[in-house]
Amino acid sequence: MEIIRIAALSLSSLLLIFVGIMRLSNPIKTYLKNSGIKLENDSSLLNEMRGVSSVMLLAGILIAIGIFVERLSFTSHFIAILIFIGFVIGRLISMKVDGKPSKQITQGIMFELILGAANVFCLINIWN
């Protein structure tokens, strides 16, 4: 079980840290490359994008700490669940209201669902 816990936290943290850094450093290029979304050079829009990106980065760092500090693993799994399942719920609502997104975003939903489920599994096993 320890290997599954470490793998779930490692993959979750690496994804959030990588995406957070990339979107913080160059949101216009990163969104276009990874999601096919063309962002305008609007300071308010970019401010919102960088704000969410910093939350992703910091969540990734907190999740990574749970790999090394055993007593924080519950908190790390809980944060990962909030982030990944939160994205899945929001994206599913958007699919219903706004229509089907691009292929890249649809693939992202699958990764978010898998990582969210893996963290739920680990959290349940911590309780038992």
- 2-53 residue pLDDT tens: 899 999 999 999 999 999 999 999 998 988 887 888 888 889 999 999 999 9
- Domain hosting 24: range is 2-127
Alpha carbon separation from 95 to 26, 116, 117 (Å, rounded) = 26, 19, 20
pLDDT in tens, 58-113: 999 999 999 999 999 999 999 999 999 999 999 999 999 999 998 889 999 999 99
> Can you tell me whether residue 47 is helix, strand or coil?
helix
Structure tokens at 97: 């209201």
What's the structural domain count of the chain? 1
pTM of the model: 0.91
